[in-house]
Structures are given as C-alpha cells and as structure tokens.
Structure 1
Amino acid sequence: MIDKRATLIETATRLFHERGFWDTPTALIAREAGVANGTLFNYFPSKAALVEAVYLSLKQSWATHLQAAAPASGSVHDRLAGYWHGAIDWARAHPDRYALLGQLKLSDEIGDGARAHGIDMFGATLELIGEAMARGELHPIEPALLKALAEAQIGAAIEFLVNHPDAMAADTAHTSFEIFWRGIAVAPTGD
C-alpha cells in the first residue's frame, strides 16, 4: 500500500527544490504525486502545513543520519566528531535536500512549534553537550550560540567541499571539527 502522506512529502521536497516553495502550487504537487488536489488537503490543511512537514522530514532524515554516524559511547570528542562527520556526509549525499533545508530554515512558513520539534530531533547531541558542560569538559556556552556556531562551521566545510570537489571529504570534516573542538573544549590542566 502506498503511503500517500509520505509520497506527498517526497514530491513536495523534489518540487520545492526544483521550483522553490513559493512557486510550487499545491495542485502541481498533488498531480505529480498522483493524487487529487483535495486529497493533499486531507493530509495537510494548508500549504504552510505541507512546508512544515517537508522541513521536519528533512530534519528527521539528517538527525537519523547523525545518530547512526556517531559512536554510542566513548569520549565526548569522538562522539561529537561522529555527529560532525555524519552531518557533512548527509549534506554531501543529499545536496538538494541540504540546500532546501537551508532555505526552509530561513522561511517564515516554519512556525515556532515546528522549529522546536526540529531541534528536539537532535536531543541526543544536545544532551551529550549539556552533560559535558556540566562535567566541565566543555566551556559553558549558551546552547543557541553553540548550535549557531556548529551549523555555521559545518556549513563552511560543506561549501568548501562543494567548491573544491577534489578535496578529501574525510580530511575536511576532521580538520573543521578539530578547529571547532578547540573552541569549545576546556583544555586539560597542563595543556
């Protein structure tokens, strides 16, 4: 059985990337998904609700990839490095989805509830950071600032790899993470 909701989200994701979400009518999404326009509104009461569903679908895909990429145990450094590498790997594997996610993050169509839910999907990462701060392993940085810094530096590494296709992705991910790590980690005594 075909999951019409998932099909509509996938179709909208593709069309939003190709045409922009402002220039993609719901009738086109429904037609491309093989459903009646009214059926789309059975699943999403408005286009804004569909845009939020696409946003959350992309965030979930990214969060799932990060969780799978990071070791379940080990040092904070190694676990955060796993998340970092996972973020870069996901963006490189899905450049269209990464670009669309970047656009949607800036959109007024994404409400506060969807934004909060999107952040909650990264709960394991945020929990690890909070615990490391409480133990004094990381500088006590405002979580929103730390998130913004990480996103900016991951974005810079991804942009570098897009513009330098011959660069070694693993080396770039490693170097960019180590620079970030030096900024957030409390140096052990004697360093």
Structure 2
Amino acid sequence: MKKQVEDKKAALLEAALKLFTERGFHGTSTAQISKEAGVATGTLFNYFPTKEDLINGLYFEVKGDLSRKMGKDVQTQNTFKEKLRKMWYNLVEWGLDNQEEFLFVGQFCSSPYITSHTREVVMEEYVFFHDLVAEGLANGELGDYPPEMITSMFYQSSRTIVDYILYSEPKDRNKAIEDGFKVVWEGLARK
C-alpha cells in the first residue's frame, strides 16, 4: 500500500512539474494535473490540500535534489576556489540535466507562491553553500559584499550559463561552464 501511495504522489509531482513549466502556475489547474497524473482530482487533494501546497511541495522536492547535487564532492576539493568551482559545475550540470526542474525553480522564485516560511525551510538545505560563502568572506577570498548578494549572483549566473549552453549550443560545453565560472569568480573575488 505504501508503494502505491508513493507512486501516486510521485505521479502528481511529475505531472505538476511538466504542466507548470509548460503553462505556468496560473495556467495550470489541479484538474489538469490530476488528469496528467492519471489520478482523480480528489486524490490530489489527499496529498496536497491546496494548489499552493502542491507548488511548495514540488519546490521542496526539486530544491532538495538540487542541494544534494550542488554539495556533491565539494569538500574533497583543497582550496576555497576549487570548492566554489566544484559547486558551480555541479549546479550548472544539474540545470542542464534537469531542465524542467531548473525552469521550475526560476519560475517559483519569481512567483507570489514563495513565502518567508518556504525560504526558511529551503535555506536549511543550503547551509553548506552559505558556510562556503562565509568561509570565502572570512579568509578574504571574496570581495566585501553581502552574503545574500553573493549567493544570488552565483545562482543567477548559473541560470545564464545553462540558458547559453542550451540555446547557443557552444562547441565545447565544459569550456562554456569554465568560462562562466571565471566570470563569476572575477566578479566576486577580492581584488
């Protein structure tokens, strides 16, 4: 029975992701999500009492996956710059491999559905990133900028590189990722 419940919930999240990225939040109804998932609309409300709960639940799932990918093997790097570069590669590659999810995160961050509670819960997943930024500030490798600005610049720059690679199709994907890191590093590093 537990497997069946997990399958229905996963089907709803997958359908919601597909439809939200295709049609936006306002252009997607819960009935459309239920139909796409192959479940009754009432079933959707058993898992997610409101559309906002579904959107936030999907956001938590996607951001959790992203945080696991971003932090992978970062601590095996020797220097602050190498750690930040590894995180950059992880983030950009996740965006390239998970395009719907990457688009969804961008949509959600700009939507009225994101609440202070949602931000707080998600930030708990990214303590490792904030700790790394704090390390860079403390050891003088990053410029004297607000930590929130640094994390935002890092993330938004990754979105730019993902879009560039997807739509410009450069000959050398790794060079594009590295060039993107160089731009970010030169902008954030202490001069």
Name the amino acid aligned to 1:63: S
Structure number having the greater helix percentage: 2
Match of 1:17?
21
- Cα distance, 1:139 vs. partner? 2.3
Name the amino acid aligned to 1:107: S
1:62-73 paired onto structure 2 within 5 Å: 62-68=66-72, 70-73=74-77
Match of 1:101?
105
Deviations 1:19-70 (CA, angstroms, capped at 9, x unpaired): 2221221122223323322221121111011111112222122211111253
SS at match of 2:137: helix
- Cα distance, 1:142 vs. partner? 0.6
| TM-score normalised by length of structure 2 | 0.88
| TM-score normalised by length of structure 1 | 0.88
Deviations 1:62-108 (CA, angstroms, capped at 9, x unpaired): 21111125343411111110110111111111222212221111110
C-alpha change, 1:172 and 1:166, in structure 2 (3 Å) is closer
Q: 2:54 aligns with which of 36, 45, 50?
A: 50
Cα distance between partner residues in 2 of 1:91 and 1:48: 24
Cα distance between partner residues in 2 of 1:107 and 1:118: 15
- Cα distance, 1:163 vs. partner? 2.4
1:134-145 paired onto structure 2 within 5 Å: 134-145=138-149
C-alpha change, 1:173 and 1:182, in structure 2 (3 Å) is same
Match of 1:175?
179
Q: 1:5 aligns with which of 9, 12, 19?
A: 9
Match of 1:79?
83
Q: Percent identity?
A: 27
Cα contact 1:69–1:86 (8 A) shared by 2? no
Tell me the C-alpha RMSD between the 2 structures. 1.8
Number of residue pairs matched by the alignment: 187
1:117-132 paired onto structure 2 within 5 Å: 117-132=121-136
Match of 1:28?
32
Deviation >4 Å, runs of 4+: none
Match of 1:165?
169
Mapped pair 1:41 → 2:41: no
Name the amino acid aligned to 2:180: S
Cα contact 2:133–2:150 (8 A) shared by 1? no
- Cα distance, 1:18 vs. partner? 2.4
Task: Give structure 1 stretches of 5+ with no counterpart.
Answer: none
Cα distance between partner residues in 1 of 2:59 and 2:44: 17
Match of 2:116?
112
Cα distance between partner residues in 2 of 1:124 and 1:43: 30
Q: 2:152 aligns with which of 139, 148, 151?
A: 148
- Cα distance, 1:111 vs. partner? 1.4
SS at match of 2:72: helix
